[in-house]
Chains A and B, each alone.
Chain A
Amino acid sequence: MLVKRAKLSWLERLYFPALIEGFRITWRHFARTLFKKAITMEYPEQRWVVPPGYRGAPYLVKDTENNTKCVSCQLCEFVCPPKAIRIVPPGKDGPKADLANAEKMPLEFEINMLRCIFCGFCQEVCPEEAIFLQEDYSLVGLTRAEMIYDKEKLLELGGVHQGPIRKWDKKLKDAEAQEAFPIKNN
């Protein structure tokens, strides 16, 4: 391809107009930054507003009655592309679930934040709405072990989910209603 070069005038070939224009522009920016403000956001003090739908770190949530929502179904562990999630279910004789009527809750739940790619599949696959990608984007640790978040930490960071759906409440009521229902054993 042939680039057509603009013919420069005699004055332009002296470089002086370019120099003056260059100085004008740089001075404008310099003075603006010096007397007003730089456009830089100074990070630890100023933080940007996380937009809705942002995919930050995945944390476990509790419901409004302080119950762990996770029922240890292990779907997220299965779907997790980088295999960042590790769940240990309670087993046959393990502790009971927080949620009345729920079958179980995880004994251990670990997310390796170094492996996590923040894809959001765990949130998408979760049938209990127990795991959410939240707003945290700066995860810091001094060791690798520190970056593997355990269940307590995940629950603490995750906070309370204010969802209107009380799936297990409804199930419990259904079950109770079934008990109370006069069933004729013919």
Chain B
Amino acid sequence: MDWDFIIFSVIKIVCAVIALLTMVAYSVLVERKVSAFIQDRVGPNRTSIPWIAAIPVIGPFLVRLGIFQPIADGVKFILKEDFTPAHVRKIYFWLAPMIAMIPAFLTIAVIPFGSTMGKQSMVISDLNVGVLYSFGIVSLAVYGIVLAGYASNSKYPFYGGIRSSAQMISYELAMGMSVIPIFLFCGTLNLSEIIYEQSGGAWFVWRSPMTFLSFIIFLIAAFAETNRLPFDMPECETELVGGYHTEYSSMKFALFFLGEYAAMIAVSSLMVVLFFGGWTLPLFGLNEPAETIWMGILHILIFITKMLFFMVVFIWVRWMIPRFRYDQLMDLGWKRFVPLAIANIVITATWLWWTA
């Protein structure tokens, strides 16, 4: 047994999961704050913890910022009554939130969130089919939602489940095909190697028009995959009450919520890795794997900053564009993005063959 490997893997897993949960909690706060500001409101600004709030200037500022709100939210979710309606199918009803949340967490396993720290490379599992793995896992999330819709045994969740199954499967296709040009360019599925390929500053967003198109398709498909507005057909408050999680309460509802935000983080990370050069920055020699611990930390921070940018994009778009109609959504998926992605693959392949 390679004890070093096991110990360091466990440390990395624990750190990554804790960081992910914290980011999920705080992205909920960011969502609430940004939405409030866009709607001319104030947002959460009351929650405080006695000692920290008493610090002269910083304390009240943090309280106004709502820094402690996620703690209150979490405690609230745990303490709420966990109500299981009589008409649900119990086993699936219990299973669905777990299945909805776990895939989003599993995706983090292959994402290289930093270069190196000492001898350890900052990726939990450096899989050489990393992208395939993450697409495979991400597509499992649909089962949680469909199962929730089915198990709730009530109209609106059922509609939500049906919609999500159609939507997510359609956009899976466009999403999967949109990234193939990237692999044609770099000839590998390993996410770390894709980052090294971009480390010169030629990030895939602006390397060529084809990869830029890939990025656009991927971004839009990501909105549909994570059930965010303008494509949040499965929950769609105005039509379906709460969609697939209408019948859920307390921590089970929180798990869906967690899963949604964790999926957003996972997809944002994927976008950063595939199109925005991962942890690299073409300045100050930050392109190379780190030699010191501080450089390693800096790389992780760069990665997180890039990822947070996409989180803000996700959140901002929610308040920017109204929800699509269901048929428009399917039209867009099947009649626009799938043909476009296929054309993109053909053009990229031809181009590469021509220039080779």
Q: How far apart are the CA atoms of A33 and B37 in the complex, in Å?
A: 6
**A31 — nearest CB in chain B belongs to which residue?**
B37
Number of A-B pairs whose CB atoms are under 8 Å?
Answer: 39
Nearest CB of chain B from residue A33's CB, rounded to whole Å: 4
Contact-residue bracket for chain A: 10 to 19
Shortest distance from the beta carbon of B300 to any chain A beta carbon, whole Å: 28
The listed residue (A23, A30, A32, A38) touching B42 by CB distance below 8 A is A38
Other contacts beyond A19-B321, A33-B40: 5, CB < 8 A = A18-B321, A22-B321, A25-B320, A38-B41, A42-B42
- Say yes or no: B39 contacts A29, CB within 8 Å: yes
A39, closest chain B residue (CB): B40
Binary contact track A45-63/B, C-beta < 8 Å → 1, others 0: 0000000000000000000
Q: Is B88 an interface residue (CB 8 A)?
A: no
Distance of B40 from chain A, by nearest CB (Å)? 5
Residue of B whose beta carbon sits closest to that of A34:
B37
Question: Does A26 interact with chain B (Cβ within 8 Å)?
Answer: yes
The size class of the interface chain B forms with chain A is 10 to 19
Q: Tell me, rounded to whole Å, the shortest Cβ–Cβ distance linking B32 to chain A.
A: 13
Residues of B within 8 A of A25 (CB): 320
Report, nearest first, the 5 A-B pairs whose CB atoms are least far apart.
Answer: A22-B320, A33-B37, A40-B42, A38-B42, A39-B40
Contacts of B213-239 to chain A: CB distance below 8 A = none
Chain A residues, Cβ within 8 Å of B41: 33, 38-40
Contacts of A26 in B (CB 8 A): 38, 316, 319-320
**Nearest CB in chain B: distance from A19 CB, A:** 7
CA distance A29 to B277 in the complex (A): 32
One digit per residue, 1 when the CB lies within 8 angstroms of any chain A CB and 0 when it does not, for chain B 26-51 equals 00000000101111111001000000
| Residue of A18, A39, A40, A42 most packed against chain B (CB within 10 A) | A40
A30 surroundings in chain B (CB, below 8 A) = 34, 37-38
Verify A38–B320 contact, CB threshold 8 A: no
